[in-house]
Amino acid sequence: MPRANSGQVVIVGGAIMGSFSAWALRKAGFAGSITVVEKDPTYQCSSTALSAASIRTQFGTPTNIQMSLYGAQIFRAIKAVFGSETDIGFHEKGYLILGGADQVAERTAAVQMQRTYGADIQVLAPDELRARFPGINFDDVGIGTFGAQHEGWFDAWSLLSTVRRAARQLNVVYVEAPVKGFETDDAKVTGVVLSNGQRLACDYCVLAAGAWSGRLVAPLGIDLPVVPKKRTVFSFKTPFRLSNFPMLFDASGIWVRPDGDGYIGGIQPLPENDGDADGDFEPQHDLLEESFWPLLAARIPAMEQLRLHRAWAGHYEVNTLDHNGVVGAHDELINLIFATGFSGHGVMHAPAVGRGVAELITSGGYRSIDMGPLGWARIRTSTPMVETIVY
C-alpha cells in the first residue's frame, strides 16, 4: 500500500491495540493528525482492563510466536521505552502447558517449531514436572512444556495507562464517543461518523475495536468474523503456596496463575453455553462449582480448600474462523486497516501489531515481522490458519 508520513489517521478503539498503534505511528515518524476514538473513557468494560494479562510464546502459529517475543522485549525494557517511573509488574515466571500421553509426539514437534522462531521452551517429562513443581498432581500427564523466558504476566491496566499517556504526549488526540458508522467512496473510507454527528475525515482508518469490530463494519458489507464471547475470571485464596508457580494451562481446559497473595483462574463454558456476549458482563458463577473447582482440585489437591474473593467477566474478541488476529488492509477499501480478532491474546500482541500498523502506513509494508499471514485474504476466502493453542 502507498506510504505516508502525513495526512489524517483515525483509529477506532482506544484500548491497548489502538493506543499502541497510535504510539507506534508517532515513533515511526508519522507527522500528520492521529485521532483515537474510544466509546468508554473509563475502560471499565474493555477487554484490556478485564483480561488475565499474560504473555506466552507457546503458539501453533509462527507469526504469533514472533509477536510475543517482541512484546516480551518491550515489557522487559518498559522503563527504557516509556520512562524510569514505569512499572507494569512483569512477572516472567513462564507458562506450563500440560498434555496427556497421547499428545507427547505432537507437543514435542510443536516445541521444535517454536524454538525455530526463537522461543525458549523446555519439554518436561512427568518425573521432571514433579521435581520442579511439587504439590501439583501429574499422574495423568504425559508431557509438560514450559517457557523458560519471555512468558509470564503483568498489569494490563498499567500497560494501557502507560502507552495511552505516551501517545497523548506525542500529540495523539483521544475522542470519547461511540462510532455510528463510516463514510466511503468506491475504494476508501473517507470519514468516521460519531454518535454525536461529528465526522472525522481520514486518509487511513485503523479498526481496533476489539470484540465489536465485526459489528461495526457489517453495514459496509464486510463479513468480519469477530464476535464478543464472555469469559469469567475467578479470584480466590487458598493455603497452597509454590514460589515458582507458573501460569498453568491444564489439559482439562482450566488455567490458573498467581495474583498478589492469591490466584486467578478460569475455564471456557461449553460451546452450547457460549453465545455472543452482547454487553453481558455478569460472571458465570456456575462454572466455578460445576467445572473449574473440581478440575483444579484434581490437579492441585491442596486447592480443594478455596475461598472465592471475587469474580468478573470480560469479552474475548473471538475470530470464529481460526482464533487468529486479523491484521492489515482490506482488499477493496484499501485504507481500512484491521487490528482486531485476537481471540484472547490481543494484549500480549498489541506492541507488535501497533508497530506493524505503523509500518504499513509509513513504509507501505511490513519491515519487522511479516504479518501477511494474518491478513484479510484468508478471511475473504474462508481459508483458516488455525491457532491450535487456545484457552
pLDDT in tens, the chain (391 residues): 677 788 999 999 999 999 999 999 999 999 999 999 999 989 988 999 888 899 999 999 999 999 999 999 999 999 999 999 999 999 999 999 999 999 999 999 999 999 999 999 999 999 999 999 999 999 999 999 999 999 999 999 999 999 999 999 999 999 999 999 999 998 999 999 999 999 999 999 999 999 999 999 999 999 999 999 999 999 999 999 999 999 999 999 999 999 999 999 999 999 999 999 988 999 999 999 999 999 999 999 999 999 999 999 999 899 999 999 999 999 999 999 999 999 889 999 999 999 999 999 999 999 999 999 999 999 999 999 988 878 7
Quote the domain boundaries for residue 233.
Answer: 92-152+228-316
* Domain match, 114 and 178 both: no
* Domain match, 173 and 26 both: yes
User: Is 141 among the domain residues?
Assistant: yes
Q: pLDDT tens across 149-177, in order?
A: 999 999 999 999 999 999 999 999 999 99
Q: Are 75 and 166 in contact (CB under 8 A)?
A: no
Phi, psi of 291, deg, nearest 5: -130, -60
* Domain match, 244 and 180 both: no
* Domain match, 160 and 147 both: no
User: Is 68 among the domain residues?
Assistant: no
* Domain match, 147 and 234 both: yes
Nearest one of 51, 137, 150, 58 to 96, comparing CA atoms: 58
* Domain match, 133 and 260 both: yes
Terminal Cα-to-Cα distance of the chain (whole angstroms):
34
Q: How many domains does the chain have?
A: 2
User: Is 14 among the domain residues?
Assistant: yes
* Domain match, 160 and 298 both: no
* Domain match, 232 and 145 both: yes
* Domain match, 182 and 307 both: no
Indicate the SS3 state at residue 360: helix
Residue 343 belongs to domain with CATH number: 3.50.50.60
* Domain match, 302 and 237 both: yes
The phi-psi region of residue 49 (left if phi > 0; otherwise alpha if psi is between -120 and 50; otherwise beta) is alpha
Supply angle C-alpha 243, 51, 89, rounded to 5.
45
* Domain match, 276 and 246 both: yes
Residues 144 and 391: their CA atoms lie apart, in Å, by 16
Taking CA atoms, 130 is separated from 136, 139, 245, 324, 335, in Å, by 7, 9, 13, 33, 53
Q: Are 71 and 348 in contact (CB under 8 A)?
A: yes
Supply angle C-alpha 8, 9, 10, rounded to 5.
120
Q: Are 14 and 347 in contact (CB under 8 A)?
A: no
User: Is 23 among the domain residues?
Assistant: yes
